[in-house]
Amino acid sequence: MPCRFAVLAGGIGASRFLQGLIRAVPAADITVVGNTGDDFELHGLSVSPDLDTVTYTLAGWADPERGWGIAGDTFRCLETLGKFTGQTWFQLGDRDLATHIYRSSLLRGGFPLSEVTARIVRALGVQSSILPMSDQRVRTWIETPAERLDFQTYFVKHKAQDEIRGIEFVGADNATPAPGVLEVIAAAEAVILAPSNPIISIGPILAVPGVREALAETSAQVAAVTPIVAGRALKGPAARMMEALGHESSALGVARIYRDFLDVLILDEQDRHLTPSIENLGVRTVVTNTIMSDLARKESLARAVLEAVAR
């Protein structure tokens, strides 16, 4: 089945949106292109948090409160690891560890991340396809006044509290899109940028050479759902990050980041007043309720996006 909808995705915000989208279209019609800039190595294991968050969500396994990890998981292995290493700040659950052991052993065996991800997705019965943005290593690093931090140290260990001076996607310049990424962007009916952080979730995907150009060239409608509502991020440090890097933290700021390829921005009722400035950029706007507080709202947001990209 050719992909009808390509979704560029970070972790939790994207997963919530995808929960709505799979109620509106068959899951098999969706190909997710996931951020791997957050990936890192811990306890000798290869961790791909955003790919796993999307996979577990689409498998119906995700923890509904945290958004990441597996619902009902326990942390007995981590407790014991903590006795050896003193490192428990990144909570890998017991069942989640099985995914990490499997992924790490296949990667060590020479399989590319795209193949490993496809195997995990299939094994968990997920009907959508999930592609990493690249098979090559790309890592997000955060420059703070005191030091340079890898993404998970900044985000989880330091609780995203440090002031940000700069962000770098190390390895992006020499990376190539994973097999299928450019093809789905070119061939999809619509490409949707999920309501994920435009800087650190969608940013690494756009930094892979060829992706931004493919978005600008595709004949598909390209839509984005802004994760910034009334100047604030729905979740996480997106607003602070945008400001720190010289962007306006608003739906208009999001539209400016994507303006070279974006056809339509879906923004919240609270930001209706921004529509003239966004349309001045040459980006159409659709105003709706974007707050995904329950499953019905997630579905109605997905339907609003589908309507916006329908021709």
User: Contact between 17 and ligand FO1 (CB under 6 A)?
Assistant: no
User: Contact between 152 and ligand FO1 (CB under 6 A)?
Assistant: yes
The alpha helices in the chain, defined as continuous H runs, are 12-24, 49-59, 76-85, 94-108, 113-123, 151-152, 181-187, 203-207, 211-217, 238-244, 251-258, 275-280, 295-309
Handedness of CA 20, 26, 285, 53 (dihedral sign): positive
Q: Do residues 5 and 27 make contact, with C-beta atoms less than 8 angstroms apart?
A: no
Query: Cα separations (Å) of 107 from 125, 136, 140, 154, 306?
Result: 21, 12, 20, 25, 36
Residues in contact with 41: Cβ distance below 8 Å, sequence separation at least 6, in sequence order: 47
User: Contact between 90 and ligand FO1 (CB under 6 A)?
Assistant: yes
Among the listed residues 18, 19, 36, 50, the single contact to ligand FO1 using CB under 6 A: 50
Residue with CB nearest ligand FO1?
11
- For the window 197-236, what string marks contact with ligand FO1 as x by the rule CB under 6 A? ----x-----------------------------------
Piece of 45-53, 110-118, 168-176, 282-290 that binds ligand FO1 (CB under 6 A) = 45-53
Which tokens is 36 given?
Answer: 């791997």
* Cβ 64 to ligand FO1 shortest distance, Å: 14
* Cβ 10 to ligand FO1 shortest distance, Å: 5
- Residue 23, SS3? helix
Piece of 8-16, 104-112, 202-210, 218-226 that binds ligand FO1 (CB under 6 A) = 8-16
User: Contact between 53 and ligand FO1 (CB under 6 A)?
Assistant: yes
Which tokens is 214 given?
Answer: 């493919």
User: Contact between 57 and ligand FO1 (CB under 6 A)?
Assistant: no
The contact set with ligand FO1 (CB under 6 A) reads: 10-12, 38, 49-50, 52-53, 68-69, 90-92, 96, 152, 155-156, 201
